[in-house]
Amino acid sequence: MEIVRMEAAHIPQIAALERLCFSEPWSERSLLEETENPAAYFIVAVEDGAVRGYAGMHTVLGESYVDNIAVFPAYRGRGIGRALTQALIDRARAVDGAFITLEVRASNRAAIALYTALGFEKVGVRPNFYMAPREDAALFTLRF
């Protein structure tokens, strides 16, 4: 498995992963725009020529905001999510960053366990942040 920058060729598989994981998935067009966005850092875990997972964030003035992290169900529990999240952290820190932050569904135990294991701390709650189904977001931040 290797982690590479997202390219146009990865996007159909990433859009399929988005539809599989999220009720409001990113479109292929939105993903493609990020390949041209200098503030964006989108990465892909690739194995045997196929996308296993992906992650993306935006950084503005040293503040990094994670958009999404997802791994195909058949490849979960093998360290791919951890490797992707660590790569985002490394990048966020390397740009003289102040912090990296993200929102996660309050019931998403796997993701919360991952973020906590990597040093993120819960700093707040955004009530009713998510739709379909409606749910609070927990806000997690790692300060550098």
Ligand X SMILES: CC(C)(COP(=O)(O)OP(=O)(O)OC[C@H]1O[C@@H](n2cnc3c(N)ncnc32)[C@H](O)[C@@H]1OP(=O)(O)O)[C@@H](O)C(=O)NCCC(=O)NCCS
Count the neighbouring beta carbons within 10 Å of the beta carbon of residue 133. 8
Q: Is 2 a catalytic residue?
A: no
Query: Which of 39, 95, 117, 125 lies at the binding interface for ligand X (CB under 6 A)?
Result: 117
Under rule CB under 6 A, residue 86 binds ligand X:
no
Query: Which of 51, 104, 138, 142 lies at the binding interface for ligand X (CB under 6 A)?
Result: 104
DSSP 58-101: EEETTEEEEEEEEE-GGGTTSSHHHHHHHHHHHHHHHTT-SEEE
User: How far is Cα 99 from Cα 143, in angstroms, rounded to an integer?
Assistant: 4
Under rule CB under 6 A, residue 70 binds ligand X:
yes
Under rule CB under 6 A, residue 119 binds ligand X:
no
Which of 33, 103, 130, 135 is labelled catalytic? Answer: 103
CA-wise closest residue to 104 among 78, 81, 124: 124
Q: Is 115 a catalytic residue?
A: yes
Query: Which of 43, 51, 71, 142 lies at the binding interface for ligand X (CB under 6 A)?
Result: 71
Residues tagged active-site: 103, 115
